[in-house]
Amino acid sequence: MSSRNGEEVMSTWKKKSILASIVFGASVLLVSTPGLSADQPKILVVYPYLGDQSFVRMHAASVAEAAKFPEVKIDIVAGPDRTNVEYFISSINKAVTEHYNVLVLNHGGAAAQLYPALRKVQDQGIKVVAFDTGLPELAGHSADVLYDNYAAAKVAGALFASLLPEGGKIGILRCLLGNPDTDAFVNGFKEAIKDTKLTVAAEADSKCDPAQSRTMAENMLTANPDLVGIYDSVDVSAQGSLQALKAAHSKAILGSIGGQMYGAQAIAAGTNWKFTVPYRFEEIGKIAVDTGVSVAKGESVPAKVVIPPSEPVTPENAAQYVKDLKARLGG
Amino acid sequence: MSIGGQGSVPGSERNSAAADDGAGQHWGMTVALGLVQLGPAFILVVLMVVLSLLSPYFLTIRNMQNLGAQTAIVCALALGQLLVIVVRGVDVSVGSVIALTVVIVGRLMEAGYENGLLHIATFLLVGACVGAVNGFLIVKGGIPQPLIVTVATLGVVRGMALLISGGQEHIGMSPIVETAGNAVFDGIPVPAILVLAVTLLLGLFTLRTQWGRWIYAVGGNPDAAAWLGVPRDRVVMSAYIICGTTAGFAGLIYAGRTDAASPLAGAGMELDAITAVIIGGASLFGGRGHVVNVILGALIIGAIRNGLNLMNVSPFWEAIAIGVSILAALELDVLRRFVETRLRARAARLLQ
């Protein structure tokens, strides 16, 4: 009987020591897990994807800027494609479950589907900052950090008008039909040329794909043999339009918005591509993080930060722009 | 009453007239049947007539050259897709394969490997490898739904393209690649010439080789084919490998046309490829399809898009217009089959 009692005692001690070990281990884990200090603000920065140079440059600037705030935990994430709503919603939910203080979001144009989730997040006390594209329907969110797309497009329109004083027919290629950024790029351009001798003879959607834009540009040139210019709302599709113009030995000029390296190089090389209005990716990425940090620290921020367009890249300054951009991108 | 030479048998003139009339009708039936059996070619001709009436620029030499070049990528994708559909499968990863192949070649250019022949080999081999993976997973992996497998590889391959490129586009391809996608030879775009060459090759393969006939056998009745000793698994796998290879070939044309390597290349083109195969008369249930009709299917899609652009249809309406046009083309094919059935029946009655 005594040996049975001894076995029971041993079994009880075994259970208790196992339980104690588990509790001790969990405590160590909880304490050592970074970012769970009660005083350290947490910011989640969400990008749609890193599928083109625009987002890659913005993201790199955000990462570099985040490193300047060691007192704030800043996590920067990116999804699989531009308008993946499921990814955005899971990121928004992550902000709640992992107790972030601020959500800094670049939704890439998918805002409409995200409002319900964002309102819930705000109800949980998490502040929301939008960047690159705003959240006009989200009442009470902390700030929008935006590029003045409309103004940039007006610069593009004015440039077209100055390069084509005789006027003539032009074609417009937009990217991502229905995206508010694209709409601004096109509407601003049309506003700028409305009192000039330029007329929009053709308009198409290239879906941001250079192969599609080449096809659209070829068809525009076929249907309008006297086309004098093509305006592409983004550089990546302008690359395709350039091929169409070259193949057709057309003298029509090409202009775009973006300020990508390859665009500037084509301009410097004296091709049909005559200008690109730089999109200030690095500033947007940097200011987005700065704004998020300010909000996390309880500082007041302007409701809207609008970054104006910078000087367009033209044949006169393209070579220098390429040099400066290479230096900025580290080679 | 004389027979066989003098005069005529009572009523024979009426019989002779009736026989002439019957022969004429039969001839008419034969011609009508022949026309209707042209299938996608018939639809394409009707479409081109309509578009040429709607736009004075459609039937110009320049536009026909453009059309040949513009449809080359989808033609290339559709040729390989046909074989997969014939064996009762589908491959939706082909668009992503375009991205992976162009990105890898872009990286080769950046690393200083500018040999055009190396690039061409890379396009084809990378495509074949992805096709082999798809085929292996479907045949040996025990996953019963080819669509699910290729949806998964669509994501994996696109992700690989993004990873390898770092999200950056590369600009500038080797002269051979540029020629393949861009040049014109004797008034014919080189991409169109290359597609015709591949069509001829695949046509000979499917119609003149035993392996090609096995592909149709497996698609028509996989179990019966297996019982008859056809190496079913290897045949299915070969279809996916060819499909991947033609996707790599499409990547070559893409890179040549755009002089760019974008990790977003080819997005959505898999749907165009599948649509081209179905418009070309292949059956999604397998066992039926012809390479020439696939080219015609791709040309139908390309002509619709081209025509809508020439007419400057608003981009907000373009997607609707393309969908409606494709439905109209498919319905025209249904009507064609109905007419064909009726004409056959009538021709058979006339023969009696």
Chain A CB within 8 Å of residue B267 CB: yes
Tell me the C-alpha to C-alpha distance, in Å, between residue B319 and each of A205, A216, A325, B325: 10, 14, 38, 10
CB contact under 8 A, A49 and B267: no
The helix/strand/coil state of A192 is: helix
pLDDT at A27 over 60: no
pLDDT at B4 over 50: no
Cβ-Cβ contacts under 8 Å, A80 against chain B: 155, 158-159
Q: Is the Cβ–Cβ distance between A13 and A5 less than 8 Å?
A: no
| pLDDT tens digits along A245-295 | 999 999 999 999 999 999 999 999 999 999 999 999 999 999 999 999 999
Residue to substitute from A49, A55, A87, A219, interface B, most B β-carbons within 10 A: A219
Q: Is the Cβ–Cβ distance between A76 and A297 less than 8 Å?
A: no
Q: Cβ of A250: how many Cβ atoms within 10 Å?
A: 19
DSSP secondary-structure letter at A218? H
Cα(B96)–Cα(B84) distance, rounded to whole angstroms? Answer: 17
pLDDT at A209 over 60: yes
Cβ-Cβ contacts under 8 Å, B315 against chain A: 174, 177, 203-205
pLDDT at B25 over 80: no
- What is the C-alpha radius of gyration for chain B, rounded to an integer number of angstroms? 25
Chain A CB within 8 Å of residue B263 CB: yes
CA distance B186 to chain A (A): 15
Residue to substitute from B171, B185, B252, B311, interface A, most A β-carbons within 10 A: B171
Chain B CB within 8 Å of residue A202 CB: yes
Cβ-Cβ contacts under 8 Å, A47 against chain B: none
Window A:113-132, CB contacts with B under 8 Å: none
Percent of chain B with pLDDT over 70: 89
Q: Strands A127-132, A102-105: parallel, antiparallel or unpaired by DSSP?
A: parallel
B277 CB contacts (<8 Å, ≥6 apart)?
Answer: B78, B81, B82, B85, B289, B294, B297
pLDDT at B332: 72
Q: Is B193 exposed, middle or buried (0-12, 13-18, 19+ CB in 10 A)?
A: middle
CB contact under 8 A, A53 and B167: yes
CB contact under 8 A, A222 and B63: yes
Cβ-Cβ contacts under 8 Å, B182 against chain A: 243, 247
* Maximum Cα–Cα distance across chain B: 99
- List the structure tokens of A165: 């004083």
Cβ-Cβ contacts under 8 Å, B69 against chain A: 218
Element (H, E) at B352: none
Cβ–Cβ pairs < 8 A, chains A and B: 105
Element (H, E) at A203: strand A198-205
Cα(A38)–Cα(A230) distance, rounded to whole angstroms? Answer: 55
DSSP secondary-structure letter at A311? P
User: ipTM of this predicted complex?
Assistant: 0.84
Cα(B341)–Cα(B351) distance, rounded to whole angstroms? Answer: 16
pLDDT at B323: 82
Cα(B332)–Cα(B322) distance, rounded to whole angstroms? Answer: 15
- Considering only CA atoms, which of B94, B90, B19, B81 is closest in space to residue B247? B94
CB contact under 8 A, A207 and B62: no
The chain A residue lying nearest B310, using CA atoms, is A223
DSSP A266-304: HHHTTSSEEEEEE--HHHHHHHHHHHHHHHHTT----SE
pLDDT at B7 over 60: no
Cα(B118)–Cα(B105) distance, rounded to whole angstroms? Answer: 9
- List the structure tokens of A41: 């603000």
Cα(B158)–Cα(A51) distance, rounded to whole angstroms? Answer: 10
pLDDT at B142: 80
B226 CB contacts (<8 Å, ≥6 apart)?
Answer: B218, B232
Chain B CB within 8 Å of residue A201 CB: yes
Q: Is the Cβ–Cβ distance between A131 and A287 less than 8 Å?
A: yes
Cα(A182)–Cα(A174) distance, rounded to whole angstroms? Answer: 6
- Long-range pairs, B227-234, Cβ under 8 A, ≥24: B233/B139, B233/B140
Cα(A72)–Cα(A52) distance, rounded to whole angstroms? Answer: 28
Cβ-Cβ contacts under 8 Å, B305 against chain A: 215
Domain B33-339 fold? ABC transporter involved in vitamin B12 uptake, BtuC (1.10.3470)
Tell me the C-alpha to C-alpha distance, in Å, between residue A241 and each of A194, A200, B12, B206: 23, 16, 74, 38
Cα(A241)–Cα(A213) distance, rounded to whole angstroms? Answer: 5
pLDDT at B73 over 70: yes
- Considering only CA atoms, which of A201, A153, A156, A213 is closest in space to residue A180? A153
Chain A CB within 8 Å of residue B71 CB: no
Tell me the C-alpha to C-alpha distance, in Å, between residue B238 and each of A322, B137, B144, B274: 47, 13, 17, 18
- Considering only CA atoms, which of B339, B275, B291, B296 is closest in space to residue B43? B296
Chain A CB within 8 Å of residue B52 CB: no
- Considering only CA atoms, which of A132, A130, A176, A178 is closest in space to residue A279? A132
- Considering only CA atoms, which of B244, B230, B232 is closest in space to residue B93? B244
Q: Is the Cβ–Cβ distance between B249 and B198 less than 8 Å?
A: yes
Alpha helices in A108-193 (DSSP H): 111-123, 149-163, 180-193
pLDDT at A150 over 80: yes
Q: Looking at mean pLDDT, say which of A140-154, B9-23, B309-323 comes out highest.
A: A140-154
Rounded to 5°, the CA angle A282-A284-A289 comes to 100
pLDDT at B181 over 70: yes
pLDDT at B193 over 60: yes
The helix/strand/coil state of B90 is: coil
Place of tokens 């599709």: A237
Chain B CB within 8 Å of residue A55 CB: yes
Cβ-Cβ contacts under 8 Å, A214 against chain B: 257-258
CB contact under 8 A, B260 and A174: no
Bridge partners of residue B243, in order along the sequence: none
Cβ-Cβ contacts under 8 Å, A49 against chain B: 162, 167
- List the structure tokens of A297: 């620290």
| pLDDT tens digits along B110-121 | 999 999 999 999
Cα(B181)–Cα(B197) distance, rounded to whole angstroms? Answer: 14
The chain B residue lying nearest A51, using CA atoms, is B167
Q: Is the dihedral of CA B57, B62, B67, B68 positive or negative?
A: positive
Chain A CB within 8 Å of residue B155 CB: yes
- Considering only CA atoms, which of B52, B42, B82 is closest in space to residue B303? B52
- Considering only CA atoms, which of A232, A223, A200, A206 is closest in space to residue B307? A223
| pLDDT tens digits along B48-71 | 999 999 999 999 999 999 999 999
Alpha helices in chain A (DSSP H): 2-32, 53-66, 85-97, 111-123, 149-163, 180-193, 210-223, 235-247, 261-268, 281-296, 318-329
Of the pLDDT bands very low, low, confident and very high (cuts 50, 70, 90), residue B156 is very high
Cβ-Cβ contacts under 8 Å, A204 against chain B: 309, 315, 318
Residue B73 C-alpha from the chain's centroid: 10
Cα(B124)–Cα(A105) distance, rounded to whole angstroms? Answer: 40
* Mean predicted confidence (pLDDT) in A164-191: 91
Window B:306-345, CB contacts with A under 8 Å: 306, 309-312, 314-316, 318
Q: Cβ of B307: how many Cβ atoms within 10 Å?
A: 24
pTM score, whole prediction: 0.84
The chain B residue lying nearest A178, using CA atoms, is B316
The helix/strand/coil state of A194 is: coil
| pLDDT tens digits along A112-135 | 889 999 999 999 999 999 999 889
